[in-house]
Amino acid sequence: MSLRPVVCIVLLICGVSSGLAGEAAVSAALPADSAPVSADSAPVSGDSTSAPVVSTPVLTQSPPAAISVTPTVVKDPPVTPVPEPPPEPVLLTPKAIRQLVDGGKNQEALQALQDYLAANSQDGDMWFLKSQVLTHLGHTDEALQVLRGMVDRFPEMAAPYNNLAVLYAAQGQLEEARKNLTMALMVQPNYATAQENLGDVYVALAKAALILDPRNKLLKAKSEKLD
C-alpha cells in the first residue's frame, strides 16, 4: 500500500518569543516525480491570525429520474357492417298475372300486381285488375280507394266508373252509383254494361221511392211494370 506524502507548511511570524526572525520558510517533502503544490496565502498584518480559506464544494447533481410514460393506444372504432340490400323482386308480366287471376290465385296475383305497379305506375289496365282482385278478396274499401284514384288519373277509362257504381250500389248508395254510371256513359256512350247497370239503378231508385211513399198509386204501378 503506497502512502501519499504530507506537505508541511510552517509559518514563522516576526516577533515571536522564539527569537527567530525572517520570512516564512516552507519545507515540503515531495516525491521526485510529483508536481509542486502552490497555495495562495493572504498577507499578514499586525498580530492577527488570518482565517483559513474554506473552499465551496462543488456538488454534482444527480440526473433526473426517468419518467415512465405509458403510451396511449388509440383503437379504431368498430366497423359496422353495411346490410346488403334485399334482392329485387322478380316482376311478372301482365299476361302471367292474369293467368294467376284466372287460376283463382288472387293473393299471389295481388302481390305480383303490387310489385309490377311499383315499377309501372302508369299502367291503367293493371290498376283496374288490382281493384278487381281486391274485390274478390273482400277488400272493398281498398278497391274503392284504387278506383277513386283511377277516375282522377285515367278519366278516359269508362270501366272504373262502372265498377265504382257497382260497389256503391252494393252499399246502398244508389245516387252515387247513378252518378258514376252516367260518367261512364259520357266517356263511352256505347258501354252496354254501364247502360244495363244504370237501368237496374233506376229500378232500385223507383222501389226506394215507393218505400218512402207506399200510398202513391202511380209510383206503385210503374214499379210493378219494372218488375
- Give CA–CA dist 167/131, Å, rounded: 11
| In a domain? residue 178 | yes
Q: Which of 32-36, 97-101, 182-186 is predicted least confidently?
A: 32-36
| In a domain? residue 119 | yes
Residue 122 and residue 95 share a domain: yes
Query: Residue 37: what pLDDT?
Result: 41
Residue 224 and residue 199 share a domain: yes
Residue 151 and residue 179 share a domain: no
| In a domain? residue 162 | no
Domain finish residue from 107, 122, 157: 157
| In a domain? residue 22 | no
Domain finish residue from 125, 157, 189: 157
Above 70 in pLDDT, residue 46? Answer: no
- Per-residue cell: 140: 272493398
Structural domains of the chain, count: 2
Task: Tell me how crowded residue 54 is: count the other CB atoms within 10 A of its CB.
Answer: 6
pLDDT band at 20 (very low <50, low <70, confident <90, very high): very low
Residue 193 and residue 151 share a domain: no
| In a domain? residue 12 | no
Residue 221 and residue 182 share a domain: yes
pLDDT tens column, 157-188:
999 999 999 999 999 999 999 999 999 999 99
Round to the nearest angstrom and report the end-to-end CA distance of the chain.
Answer: 154
| CATH number of the domain bearing residue 130 | 1.25.40.10
Q: Which residue has the higher pLDDT, 147 or 87?
A: 147
Residue 179 and residue 153 share a domain: no
Residue closest to 162 by CA, chosen among 134, 141, 121, 132:
132
| In a domain? residue 201 | yes
Residue 153 and residue 194 share a domain: no
pLDDT band at 140 (very low <50, low <70, confident <90, very high): very high
Domain range for residue 135?
Answer: 91-157
Residue 188 and residue 150 share a domain: no
Q: Tell me if residue 91 falls in helix, strand or coil.
A: coil
Query: Looking at residues 103-128, what average pLDDT do you find?
Result: 95
Query: Residue 124: what pLDDT?
Result: 96
| In a domain? residue 137 | yes
Query: Residue 198: what pLDDT?
Result: 95
- Give CA–CA dist 166/131, Å, rounded: 12
Residue 95 and residue 136 share a domain: yes
With beta carbons less than 8 A apart as the criterion, state whether 97 and 114 touch.
no
**Radius of gyration, alpha carbons of the chain:** 63
Looking at residue 94, its amino acid is P
Residue 188 and residue 153 share a domain: no
Q: Which residue has the higher pLDDT, 18 or 92?
A: 92
Task: Tell me how crowded residue 202 is: count the other CB atoms within 10 A of its CB.
Answer: 14
Share of the chain above pLDDT 90, in %: 48
Residue 195 and residue 150 share a domain: no
Residue 178 and residue 210 share a domain: yes
Above 90 in pLDDT, residue 44? Answer: no
| In a domain? residue 181 | yes
Q: Which of 29-38, 57-66, 140-149 is predicted least confidently?
A: 29-38
